[in-house]
């Protein structure tokens, strides 16, 4: 990919090229402008008049244009008369498009409009040009277009005034443009385009607000590179722009912030020599000078909030439309500065990494074939970090494969120094608490759960809550949604290298040991020192470790000890009393060492150990966490009163545990009590007085029958989990748990709640009572209405947005009621839960999902799998993101389409799992396949798409299967999604919206990218037959609206079952819907006249046209209003008011004693006796009334039309056929067409009796339903035949299985005899193996002795060599000293001899004198 730097980065000869008409301005304006530019030091090209020879522009002029950064076009009166000028203009505009050349226009004594539209002198010039170039009309046209385009560019217009001022303004602007040189981005900006696009989308340049954007990530990830590329992309749209690079380093110098402020003002305002003096003055000057200017400002590499406060303190500092981009390693700086728009720079994917590495290592976009494998190894080591990829590629460039292998092996133990220096900048800026936490995580805790790490760090007197938050903000570690800590491999290597450098050659002098070879060396050699604070011994494979009793004891400052995957032999190992945290998996002894003093221990983790705890806990005053999970020999928990500060006790999977000491109930600081899957325990301490308790987990204690008695108000209790227990009754004092948020009682088969204590928990957010058949959450009252026990008044199925639930759970967010025998009446209550986000009503018996579910506006997840009786869906929450309707095989086509469409029309997160529809899908796919894979091409931005897969089950019911959807781009795996399906009946469709488009964009490295989508079944229950029979992709268009899908869906309904033509669609209407549609009609009046059915019942009564006449005198043409979505006479009355007002001038009824008010529904007679006679008389009255006001003098009924009669005969013929023949597709269409046509005719044929009309209308509605039901019955019949056939096959299979079993028994007998022989043979071999093992042990002892002797000899030799080398260095000096000593010795000896001689002479003289 080409560099993103613009053409300014290319080599140019001239700053400015001047295009002008010589005879107009050479000696005047253009000459003066050239002189002013030259005096400012701007290298300007102005052509020599002598160059203009001939018709065609010279190549030298064309080259000059291409070699200039800015072109200034000076339009004057006669500019268009010169073909040279026009050719120059065309070339200049070509350079603008192709090379990004800046073009400015000057209109000198000419109107821009004349240039734009070629008027005045330009019109005259073009008249001559068209005559002159009659055979080159395209060339003239190109000139015209060029003039129009150039006249629309920004520029200057001079008509009068001071010319020198005008020229000065041009020179100033040119100078400003030249000073704004685009930044050098990267030699090989691989993957940069997608990331720049992501940042640009956050900038929203079309918006006029001031926006600040933060770009953050670890060191070397490419933050500055992205910021530079974004700056180059958009800086032309800002008159004022500045890029302040490496603010961290600049601000660290004396008066650094003040100089940065001065630099900012200079780059934006162009004022030199500005001196601010101090930061506070600079803040005010920046605010005052820039508050009305639209600026582009990049503040690069910020590491302190003071830097932001001094340079970009607030949004009001800058003018509308300004954009400020900030890069930092510390996300918290952005949060502290209230920057809400942030972009985290992601590491490069493998394709991008390999490409960038190849450019550095091979100077091309891909590695050499022979280097491919080792290049992939290098790329994996760098883990997508651009800095590391570039450095490694440069270091390895030109080297052999063997040298590559050696270098990569070295990097495993000693990371690359250049990379480490960059990464260490973040570490060096940390405070002591964060540094210690970082080193612990790098050495011990990468990949661990946050809760575990926090406990361990607190045990070492650190502060993990704030410390880990700081490290996350600085991108040194990551914390995913599961609470798992992770970090980039190179950052982890950096942390380990910091520890290694504490003592490069002697591991025993380092603060932390994590490499198992170093740990074993230190422990076996006894070279550990007081500097060791933490040890983690985690062996790659389980092996025996021999330790002496005192090997650990002498590490007097050891605070953290973690041992995993090791088997210890050699007796009890003494532990140092300095320990704060002990995590020893499979601890080999039944108790801790007797010499161990546990006063300092804070965290004790002994999972899967042999511990038995036969003695009470004593002197554990500081212990806060105790984990004894999966200790199979643990029978009881002794007295724990010696652990007064215990906050957490975990006793999971202790299968032999039967007793817990009563003292546990008196730990007033206990926060978490976890006794899970302890299958032998039958009771807990009788009284638990635990005021600090926040969570109690009793899951899987299958023999626990009594819920513990928790005393007090338990104000801190938030979570109770007790699924799959034998608890029979909830305690009455649960009413005191007013702050309880999570209650899980799943699969408690014997659980009851006679005191209805659940209803007293107003702060519940999650309730799971799935599979509790005796827990009657929904109680039947005497009035046979269905009420939730916590909510004495159930919410009914009518629209009342003002309803607020004052009972039950106002804060409930998750409710799980699977397998709770819920009926239709029970579902209405859920509409009261206004905060519900997740609802599980799977495996229940209701028939209809009611309309009131529309009001669950916050519901995001709806699980209703295996609701085998569910037939129709009337209401679906609008914000659902996940819907699971697996095995809801009774759903009708209309509801199934509604379910699928509900998710599909959303262009955001959604997922739907449902039975495979019998009708075509209610939407179209851009790409599809009749198997599990498909492929297509896209551009450089991944579109928003929805994926659809259908699964065909060969055996109609599958207990379990799983599939994986993989998206590959250009052959590289880009995305993978796994989905598990449980208890599936019938074929299945899975529809979901593809997420993580930003990540997918990083794989789009070509102009056209090949995408492959595949769905593969990778796991299923034995004997299952599941295939992917369809896959489809729908691409959302930018202007696509959700309602378009709704229209498509409604069109599909026309061909589905249970439908009729839109103009005659009479749908059943609930009384609640009638209340919605006719709010002005009181329910009391409707009930008094029989027009409302009993509460919560549906009515199938269809109002005939005569009934409508009874309410309003209307003509039969008004029957067109039958096309209302949900037809209701109350609504129809309101719709016909206008038509009634129009007709009442022509139709006047004579008042009688029996006249009723048509607007008064209460007096509408609804009796069905003598109905036809009644409507006939009413019809006659209408004609009589008309006779009083028209020329018609007598009542005349028209005869039945011939068309109606023929249609009735066809209908009669169809009715004579068997229903089975009519249900066939062709007959069904004929029947419906006949009925629809007949309904249209009788609507205008008044001679047809009202009874016949009613019968035909009813027949049309019923036939549609019957055809659907008949087809469903046929399907069930076929299904039952298949099942019975399968049963017969199974019967035969059972017989065959019995025969096969007999054969297997015979084979088993033979194999048993053979096994006896082999076991005897094995015993013989084991005896031989024992002898060999003994010899091996002897040899190992001898070898170990030899190894120790070798090491001692080596150490002795190394020491002797060091002494020898030291003496060698002193050899010359010693020899010099030796010679000097000899000289001195000789001198002294000579002097001594002389003194002796002199003394002798004196004595001789003395003797003579004496």
User: Can you name the residues that pair with 584 across neighbouring β-strands?
Assistant: 563
Distance CA 517, CA 932 (A): 49
Q: How far is CA 152 from the centre of its chain?
A: 45
Residue 88 annotated among the catalytic residues of the structure: yes
Q: Please tell me which residue in 49, 55, 56, 88 is annotated as part of the active site.
A: 88
Q: Which tokens is 181 given? A: 């040189």
Residues 6+ apart with CB under 8 A from 1090: 1166
For 1408, the token pair is 């003579």
Displacement of CA 1341 from its chain's centroid (Å):
57
Of the candidates 624, 626, 625, 645, the one whose C-alpha atom is nearest the C-alpha of residue 634 is 626
Q: Read off the tokens for 842.
A: 């799977």
Distance separating alpha carbons of residues 437 and 1283, to the nearest angstrom: 64
Q: How many residues does the chain have?
A: 1410
Residue 454 CB partners (closer than 8 Å, separation 6+): 464, 465, 468
Conformational region of residue 929, where left means phi above 0, alpha means psi within -120 to 50, and beta covers everything else: beta
The alpha carbon of 1142 is separated from its chain's Cα centroid by a whole number of angstroms, namely 60
SS3 call for 689: coil
Q: How many CB atoms are located within 10 Å of the residue 1076 CB?
A: 18
> Phi, psi (5° rounding) for residue 894?
-65, -45
What the block records as the tokens of 943 is: 């579109």
Is 905 exposed, middle or buried (CB count within 10 Å of its CB: 0-12, 13-18, 19+)?
buried
> Rounded to an integer, what distance in angstroms lies between the CA atom of residue 647 and that of residue 638?
17
Q: How is 414-426 classified by DSSP, letter by letter? A: S--HHHHHHHHHH
Decide: 1259 and 1215 in contact? Cβ < 8 Å. no
Instruction: Give residue for tokens 């956050």.
Output: 202
End-to-end CA distance of the chain: 117
Q: Compute the distance between CA of residue 1029 and CA of residue 1031 in angstroms, rounded to an integer.
A: 7
CA 1316 vs CA 624, 964, 1306, 1319, 1326: distances in Å? 54, 46, 16, 5, 15
Burial label for 387, CB within 10 Å (0-12, 13-18, 19+), is: buried
The tokens of 3 are what? 């560099």
Beta-carbon count within 10 A of 1147 CB: 16
Q: Report the phi/psi class of residue 336: left, alpha or beta, with left for phi > 0 and alpha for psi in -120 to 50.
A: alpha
**For 528, phi and psi rounded to 5 degrees?**
-70, 150
Q: Which residues contact 385 (CB under 8 A, 6 or more apart)?
A: 218, 220, 221, 347, 348, 419, 488, 490
Ramachandran angles phi, psi of 966, nearest 5°: -120, 130
Number of C-beta neighbours around residue 1291 at 10 A: 10
| 623 close to 648: Cβ distance less than 8 angstroms | no
Residue 214 near residue 328, CB atoms below 8 Å = yes
DSSP string, 177-193: HHH-PPPP--SS-TTHH
Using CB atoms within 10 Å of the CB of residue 852, give its burial: 0 to 12 exposed, 13 to 18 middle, 19+ buried.
buried
Strand partners, 697: 674, 721
What residues act catalytically?
88
């Amino acid at each position: 990919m080409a560099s993103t730097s613009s053409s300014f980065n290319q080599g140019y000869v001239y700053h400015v090229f001047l295009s002008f008409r010589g005879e107009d301005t050479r000696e005047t304006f253009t000459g003066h402008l050239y002189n002013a530019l030259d005096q400012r030091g701007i290298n300007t090209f102005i052509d020599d008049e002598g160059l203009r020879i001939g018709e065609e522009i010279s190549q030298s002029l064309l080259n000059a244009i291409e070699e200039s950064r800015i072109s200034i076009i000076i339009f004057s009166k006669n500019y268009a008369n010169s073909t040279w000028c026009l050719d120059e203009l065309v070339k200049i505009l070509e350079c603008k498009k192709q090379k990004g050349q800046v073009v400015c226009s000057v209109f000198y004594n000419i109107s821009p409009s004349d240039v734009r539209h070629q008027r005045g002198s330009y019109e005259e010039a073009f008249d001559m040009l068209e005559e002159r170039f009659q055979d080159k009309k395209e060339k003239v046209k190109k000139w015209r277009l060029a003039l129009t385009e150039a006249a629309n560019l920004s520029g200057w217009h001079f008509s009068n005034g001071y010319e020198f001022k005008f020229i000065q303004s041009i020179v100033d602007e040119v100078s400003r443009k030249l000073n704004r040189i685009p930044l050098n981005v990267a030699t090989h900006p691989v993957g940069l385009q997608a990331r720049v696009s992501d940042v640009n989308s956050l900038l929203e340049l079309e918006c006029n607000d001031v926006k600040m954007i933060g770009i953050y990530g670890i060191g070397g990830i490419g933050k500055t590179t992205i910021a530079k590329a974004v700056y180059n992309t958009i800086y032309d749209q800002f008159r004022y722009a500045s890029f302040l690079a490496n603010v961290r380093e600049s601000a660290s110098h004396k008066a650094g912030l003040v100089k940065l402020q001065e630099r900012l003002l200079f780059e934006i305002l162009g004022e030199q020599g500005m001196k601010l003096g101090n930061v506070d003055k600079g803040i005010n000057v920046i605010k005052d000078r820039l508050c009305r200017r639209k600026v582009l400002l990049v503040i690069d590499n910020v590491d302190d909030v003071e830097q932001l406060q001094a340079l970009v303190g607030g949004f009001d500092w800058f003018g509308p439309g300004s954009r400020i981009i900030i890069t930092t390693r510390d996300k918290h700086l952005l949060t502290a500065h209230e920057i809400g728009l942030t972009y985290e720079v992601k590491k490069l994917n493998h394709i991008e990494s390999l490409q960038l590495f190849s450019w550095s290592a091979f100077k091309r976009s891909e590695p050499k074939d022979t280097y491919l494998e080792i290049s992939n190894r290098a790329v994996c080591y760098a883990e997508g970090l651009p800095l590391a990829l570039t450095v490694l590629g440069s270091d390895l460039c030109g080297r052999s494969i063997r040298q590559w292998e050696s270098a990569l092996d070295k990097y495993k133990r000693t990371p690359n120094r250049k990379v480490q220096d960059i990464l260490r900048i973040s570490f060096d800026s940390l405070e002591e608490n964060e540094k210690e936490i970082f080193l612990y995580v790098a050495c011990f805790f990468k990949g661990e759960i946050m809760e575990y790490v926090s406990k361990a760090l607190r045990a070492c007197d650190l502060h993990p809550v704030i410390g880990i938050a700081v490290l996350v903000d600085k991108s040194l570690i990551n914390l995913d949604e599961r609470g798992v800590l992770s970090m980039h491999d190179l950052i982890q290597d950096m942390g380990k290298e910091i520890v290694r450098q504490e003592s490069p050659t002697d591991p025993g002098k380092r603060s932390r040991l994590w490499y198992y070879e170093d740990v074993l060396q230190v422990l076996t050699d006894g070279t550990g020192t007081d500097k060791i604070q933490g040890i983690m011994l985690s062996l790659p494979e389980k092996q025996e470790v021999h330790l002496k009793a005192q090997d650990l004891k002498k590490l007097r400052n050891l605070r953290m000890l973690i041992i995993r995957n090791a088997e210890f032999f050699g007796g009890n190992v003494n532990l140092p009393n300095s320990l704060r945290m002990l995590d020893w998996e499979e601890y080999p002894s039944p108790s801790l060492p007797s010499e161990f003093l546990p006063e300092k221990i804070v965290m004790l983790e002994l999972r899967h150990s042999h511990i038995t705890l036969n003695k009470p806990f004593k002197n554990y005053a500081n212990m806060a966490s105790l984990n004894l999970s999966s200790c199979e020999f643990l029978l009881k928990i002794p007295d724990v009163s010696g652990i007064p500060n215990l906050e957490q006790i975990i006793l999971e999977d202790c299968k032999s545990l039967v007793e817990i000491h009563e003292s546990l109930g008196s730990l007033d600081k206990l926060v978490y009590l976890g006794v899970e899957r302890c299958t032998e325990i039958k009771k807990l301490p009788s009284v638990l007085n635990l005021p600090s308790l926040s969570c109690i987990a009793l899951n899987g204690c299958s023999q626990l029958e009594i819920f513990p008695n928790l005393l007090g108000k338990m104000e801190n209790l938030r979570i109770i989990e007790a699924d799959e227990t034998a608890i029979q009754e909830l305690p009455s004092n649960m009413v005191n748990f007013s702050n309880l948020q999570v209650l899980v009682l799943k699969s408690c088969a014997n659980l009851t709640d006679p005191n209805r204590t659940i209803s007293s928990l107003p702060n519940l957010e999650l309730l799971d009572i799935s599979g509790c058949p005796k827990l009657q959450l929904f109680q039947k009252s005497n009035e046979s209405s269905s009420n939730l026990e916590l909510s004495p008044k159930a919410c009914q199925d009518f629209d009342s947005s003002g309803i607020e639930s004052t009972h039950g759970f106002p804060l409930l967010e998750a409710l799980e009621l699977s397998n709770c025998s819920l009926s239709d009446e029970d579902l209405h209550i859920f509409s009261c839960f206004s905060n519900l986000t997740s609802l599980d009503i799977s495996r229940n018996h209701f028939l209809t999902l009611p309309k009131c579910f529309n009001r669950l506006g916050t519901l995001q997840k709806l699980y209703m799998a295996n609701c085998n009786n569910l037939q129709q869906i009337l209401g679906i929450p609008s914000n659902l993101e996940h819907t699971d309707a697996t095995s809801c095989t009774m759903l009708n086509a209309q509801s199934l389409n509604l379910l699928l469409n509900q998710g599909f029309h959303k262009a955001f997160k959604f997922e739907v799992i449902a039975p495979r529809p019998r009708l075509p899908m209610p939407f179209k796919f851009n790409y599809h396949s009749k198997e599990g894979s498909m492929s297509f091409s896209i551009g450089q931005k991944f579109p928003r798409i929805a994926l659809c897969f259908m699964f065909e089950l060969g055996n109609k019911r599958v207990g379990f299967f799983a599939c994986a959807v993989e998206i590959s781009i250009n052959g590289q795996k880009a995305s993978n999604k796994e989905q598990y399906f449980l208890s599936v009946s019938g074929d299945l469709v899975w529809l979901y919206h593809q997420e993580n488009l930003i990540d997918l964009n990083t794989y789009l490295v070509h102009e056209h990218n090949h995408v492959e989508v595949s769905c593969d079944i990778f796991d299923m229950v034995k004997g299952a037959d599941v295939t992917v029979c369809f896959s489809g992709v729908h691409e959302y268009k930018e202007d696509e609206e959700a309602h378009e899908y709704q229209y498509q869906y409604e069109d599909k309904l026309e061909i589905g079952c249970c439908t009729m033509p839109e103009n005659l669609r009479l749908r059943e209407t609930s009384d609640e819907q009638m209340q919605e549609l006719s709010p002005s009609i009181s329910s009391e009046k409707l009930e008094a006249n029989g027009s409302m059915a009993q509460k919560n019942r549906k009515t199938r009564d269809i109002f005939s046209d005569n009934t409508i006449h009874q309410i309003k005198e209307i003509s039969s043409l008004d029957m067109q209003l039958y096309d209302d979505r949900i037809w209701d006479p109350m609504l129809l009355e309101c719709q016909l008011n206008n038509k009634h007002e129009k007709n009442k001038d022509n139709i006047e009824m004579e008042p009688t004693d029996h006249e009723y008010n048509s607007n008064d529904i209460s007096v509408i007679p609804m009796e069905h006796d003598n109905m036809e006679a009644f409507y006939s008389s009413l019809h006659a009255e209408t004609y009589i009334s008309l006779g009083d006001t028209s020329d018609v003098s007598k009542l005349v009924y028209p005869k039945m039309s011939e068309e109606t009669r023929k249609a009735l005969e066809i209908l009669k013929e169809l009715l004579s056929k068997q229903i089975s023949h009519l249900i066939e597709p062709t007959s069904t269409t004929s029947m419906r067409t006949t009925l629809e046509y007949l309904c249209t005719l009788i609507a205008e044929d008044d001679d047809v009796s009202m009874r016949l009309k009613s019968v035909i209308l009813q027949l049309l509605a019923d036939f549609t339903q019957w055809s659907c039901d008949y087809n469903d019955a046929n399907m069930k019949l076929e299904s039952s035949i298949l099942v019975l056939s399968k049963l017969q096959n199974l019967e035969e299979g059972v017989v065959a299985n019995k025969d096969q079993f007999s054969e297997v028994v015979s084979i088993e007998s033979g194999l048993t005899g053979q096994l006896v022989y082999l076991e005897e043979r094995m015993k013989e071999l084991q005896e031989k193996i024992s002898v060999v093992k003994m010899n091996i042990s002897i040899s190992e002892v001898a070898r170990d002795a030899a190894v120790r002797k070798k090491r001692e000899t080596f150490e002795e030799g190394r020491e002797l060599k060091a002494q020898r080398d030291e003496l060698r260095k002193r050899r010359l000096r010693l020899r010099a000293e030796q010679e000097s000593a000899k000289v001195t010795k000789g001198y002294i000896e000579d002097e001594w001899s002389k003194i002796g001689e002199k003394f002798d002479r004196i004595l001789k003289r003395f003797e003579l004198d004496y």
